[in-house]
Amino acid sequence: MSNTPHLKPLRTLCSSCSLRELCLPVGLNRDEVEQLDAVIRQSRVVKRGEYLYRSGEEFKSLYAIRTGFLKACVSSQDGREQVTGFYMSGDLVGLDGISSNHHGCDAIALEDSEVCELPFARLEEIGRVIPSLQTHFYRLMSREIVRDQGVMLLLGNMKAEERLAAFLLNISQRLYSRGFAANDFVLRMTREEIGSYLGLKLETVSRTLSKFQNDGWIEVNHKHIKLLKPKELKELVSGCAHQI
13 or 155: CB nearest a second copy:
155
Helix (H) or strand (E) holding 123: helix 120-129
d(CA 112, CA 67): 8
The reply on whether position 58 binds a second copy by CB under 8 A is no
The reply on whether position 181 binds a second copy by CB under 8 A is no
d(CA 35, CA 237): 42
54 or 224: CB nearest DNA:
224
Binding site for DNA (CB under 7 A): 159-161, 190-192, 199-207, 209-210, 220, 222-223
Burial tier of 178 (Cβ tally within 10 Å: 0-12, 13-18, 19+): middle
Tell the smallest beta-carbon distance from residue 6 to DNA (Å). 24
- Tell me which of DNA, a second copy, none is bound by residue 146, counting a contact when its beta carbon lies within the kind-specific cut-off of 5 to 8 angstroms: a second copy
Tell the smallest beta-carbon distance from residue 196 to a second copy (Å). 7
Kind of pairing between the strands at 61-75 and 81-88: antiparallel
- Cα separation of the two ends of the chain: 35
- Tell me which of DNA, a second copy, none is bound by residue 242, counting a contact when its beta carbon lies within the kind-specific cut-off of 5 to 8 angstroms: a second copy
- Tell me which of a second copy, DNA, none is bound by residue 35, counting a contact when its beta carbon lies within the kind-specific cut-off of 5 to 8 angstroms: none
Residues 194-213 that bind a second copy (CB under 8 A): 196-199
Cβ contacts of residue 108 below 8 Å, gap of 6+?
49, 50, 51, 52, 70, 71, 72, 73
Q: Which residue type sits at 132? A: S
Which residue ranges make up the site for a second copy (CB under 8 A)?
Answer: 55, 74-78, 80, 82, 84, 95-100, 104-105, 124, 127-128, 131, 134-135, 138-146, 148-153, 155-157, 196-199, 238-242
